[in-house]
Structure 1
């Protein structure tokens, strides 16, 4: 593949980078029960999607180690798996929020500020990371490995932060689930 193929994907990167956060924001505000649908709250999902975030973090670290050890195919497969895990997380996250009431953080004092700092940075970076992941992936598909590697050095720590803080946010709010 070459740079013309890379350019072909640019429109999809732009569309997905805008559409995913917008769709999630809209669906986050939609509760199917409030709309009259007889759905059971999917209250079992938060520990599952938190675990998915944790697995994503592990897979990302394994993928970086694989490429550092010259295992390109393993790296490629692990990165595809990390993307799949992120998609699964997103689906479960939206499904939970469309069927369940939001949980309020009940901590007080300094822990409350720590929680909200982690939550806000997690949310903001989860939006910012979308085009970074997509562009990094497309650069690998286009076999532009010099540019892929350069961007991956930025993408990896951001994505890892999002995955790890997703678990931390869950652990901090889990005592307040009803």
Structure 2
């Protein structure tokens, strides 16, 4: 009983940070997403090499998550812990690259084959229903990438405060959401990449 109380007290110390980060990260990303360095007078080349790198980071994150779950199911807690720390680091790295790309490059429209930033009627006909498939995957990816932040942080805090039963219970929800975000990040890249301007 005393251990449970100590775990709960330890968790409470992290709660304000979890709330702060869960709000601050999406707000800062949204604000920075709207900032274009060239509009601020900086002469920077678009970082067009970043999308395949951060898509690769998403793919690696998905693999790390799967291997981490396999490790803990086999009783390899230390390996699981290290892999989860690596997955969090990969997610932070992805976020930095994603923001850097969007601060230096114009957004790409799905189906915009002539790269004029306008989806013409002819282009809409060409892509047809795939646009709706793309938008569904993109919007669910974005929504869950915001929702997943507190889930990852709370799940992690429960582990480091030795509240393992509560950690496992929440991880059953966190893991599939995080895996979905990682995998759909790759899918979104593969779907939009043909429309990047060269």
TM class by smaller structure: over 0.9
Q: 2:131 aligns with which of 112, 117, 134?
A: 112
Structure scoring higher RCO (CA < 8 A, sep ≥ 6) equals 1
Per the TM alignment, residue 79 of structure 1 is displaced from its structure 2 partner at its CA by: 0.1
Q: 2:167 aligns with which of 141, 148, 153?
A: 148
TM-score normalised by length of structure 2? 0.89
- Paired residue for 2:49? 44
CA distance in 2 between partners of 1:109 and 1:134 (Å):
39
Structure possessing the higher radius of gyration over alpha carbons: 2
Q: Helix, strand or coil for the counterpart of 2:39?
A: coil
CA distance in 2 between partners of 1:174 and 1:148 (Å):
37
Runs of 4+ with deviation above 3 angstroms:
none
CA distance in 2 between partners of 1:159 and 1:2 (Å):
25
CA RMSD of superposed structures (Å): 0.8
CA distance in 1 between partners of 2:110 and 2:24 (Å):
28
Specify every segment of 5 or more residues in structure 1 that has no aligned partner in the other structure, as ranges.
none
CA distance in 2 between partners of 1:105 and 1:22 (Å):
25
Q: Helix, strand or coil for the counterpart of 2:100?
A: helix
- Paired residue for 2:153? 134
Specify every segment of 5 or more residues in structure 2 that has no aligned partner in the other structure, as ranges.
1-5, 112-125
